[in-house]
Structure 1
Amino acid sequence: MDMLNAMQTFVAVAENSGITAAADKLGCSKAIVSRTLSLLEERLDVRLLNRTTRKVSLTEAGTEYLEHCRAMLEQNAEIESRFAEKGLEPQGHLRISSPMTFGTQHITPVLPEFIDKYPKVQVDIQMTDRFVDIVEQGMDLAIRIGATGSDSLIVRKFAETQHQVAASPELIEKMGGMPKTVEDLKSWPTVAYSLRTAAPSWQSSRVNPELERARSNNGEAILRLAEAGVGLAYIPTFIMEDSIKAGKLKVLLPGIAQESTPLYILYPHRRRLALKTRVFIDFMVQKFSNM
């Protein structure tokens, strides 16, 4: 039994909600589709579909097996695509959406190496701290920090950073010295990231809104306000590492008021993924996996 063909048939039936529609999509007879499903269920010794004269529906086992089949078919398609692309040269316009600060501090410095390696790829990097619908905007991929913002895209983690609390030496002195517990931070003025949708894992509740002295949707702006002593900031370490080294900011409650934050690459689909996009994803993983 050709298991790959059986998986493709099963997925077609599940996604088209019927044997007739699946047969039309696959270009074969209903009898072949029905027979393939029966053989597959016999081999797995489990019922995958509930069949009536009008429709089919997935059983609990069928729902679980559907996800397995999709993953296996995607992996196979990706491998076949990679073999087919051997000897080809990536080319074309590569449109990237990136957060402003991460884009300027980390992606832009490594782009010359990527462009030198793939001279036929023209890079168009659009920087914004708002979530962009990459399909609607015609982007090839997007870089996201923490939240992905969509369930319809393929998500690949390529690095990890830390969010930490920091404040200027002047603010620390004004507040009576370094805090000793998370509770101590509740009386401190803050500079907030306006796109954050939930309180940090270490914080039982949001900071008192009356203590929020400023807010922004951009990490660089929050950094500068924190350096000026406006309030404490809770931002990724890659944004504030230079300020920490220069003594403009100090980390508060290290090891306590912090959380690991994944960095993701999002793209529309795996199948028939353009070579220019694939090589950029691999390049980012190579460059930042040890960040």
Structure 2
Amino acid sequence: MQYPDIQLDLRFSNNLIDIEKEGIDIAFRVRNPAIDNWVIRELKLTHNLLCVHPNYDHQSITHPEQLEEHPKVTCVGLVPWQLKNQQTSEEYSFNPNTHVRLEVDEIQMMKQAVESGVGISYIPDYIALPLIEAGKLKRILPDWKSNGQPFSILYRDRKQIPYRVRLLIDHTLQHFTNV
């Protein structure tokens, strides 16, 4: 470990928390809510994909409107499912409100539920793609995904950034330029 004396305090939430009030030095967010006196640096674009357990029979699903009758797993903050067909540019907004087997407020719980076969879900590509490659999830309607949403790092705009905070910012920016 390069900096063993630095201690991190990590908190994960899908809720839009007041990072200023909570005294947070650095935040990572999907989408870019403007915050006065904070620097927002886009790291990459993310897309949400429709995924299901590999054994789920999804062959009859040829359009997002057909998802209505299938079991679903939803996550607070990721509804409605905004989809765009990458071949035809058709856009479809799906609001999963029937046959929802599980609603969670944390993305990793949603992923676990889909891996366990609970239902279909709308999962960020940075979580879904490695699991699809490993055979733990299957993508359905592969021509459909969300529009790109910026994944950004936010930090206070100030002249005297603590050294430990500057190190994490620099490490993060270096990591995402090498991706």
Q: How does 1:278-289 map to 2 (within 5 A)?
A: 278-289=166-177
Q: Which has the larger radius of gyration?
A: 1
Provide Cα deviations, 1:179-227, integer angstroms capped at 9, x if missing partner.
2223333332211111236542536334341222111111111111112
**Which residue number corresponds to residue 39 of structure 2?**
154
**Which residue number corresponds to residue 139 of structure 1?**
24
**Which residue number corresponds to residue 180 of structure 1?**
62
**Which residue number corresponds to residue 128 of structure 1?**
12
Runs of 4+ off more than 6 Å: none
Q: How many residues were matched structurally?
A: 171
**Which residue number corresponds to residue 137 of structure 2?**
249
Deviation at 1:123, TM superposition (A): 2.9
Deviation at 1:165, TM superposition (A): 0.8
The question of whether the paired residues in 1 share the 8 Å contact of 2:69 and 2:98 is answered with no
Greater RCO (CA < 8 Å, at least 6 residues apart)? 2
Change (3 A) 1:199 1:179: closer
State the identity as a percent.
26
The question of whether the paired residues in 2 share the 8 Å contact of 1:155 and 1:264 is answered with yes
Cα distance in 1 between the residues matched to 2:165 and 2:147: 30
**Which residue number corresponds to residue 77 of structure 2?**
195
Q: Which has the higher strand share?
A: 2
Change (3 A) 1:181 1:204: closer
The letter of the residue matching 1:180 is: T
Provide Cα deviations, 1:219-245, integer angstroms capped at 9, x if missing partner.
111111112222111111222334313
Q: Which has the higher helix share?
A: 1
Cα distance in 1 between the residues matched to 2:80 and 2:146: 14
SS in 2 for 1:234: strand
> How well do the aligned residues superpose, as a CA RMSD in angstroms?
2.5
- TM-score of the two chains, using structure 2 as the length reference: 0.79
Structure 2, unmatched stretches of 5+, are 85-90
The letter of the residue matching 2:9 is: I
Aligned match of 2:161 in 251, 255, 273? 273
Cα distance in 1 between the residues matched to 2:128 and 2:98: 25
Structure 1, unmatched stretches of 5+, are 1-111
**Which residue number corresponds to residue 18 of structure 1?**
none
Deviation at 1:166, TM superposition (A): 0.6
Aligned match of 2:108 in 220, 223, 239? 220
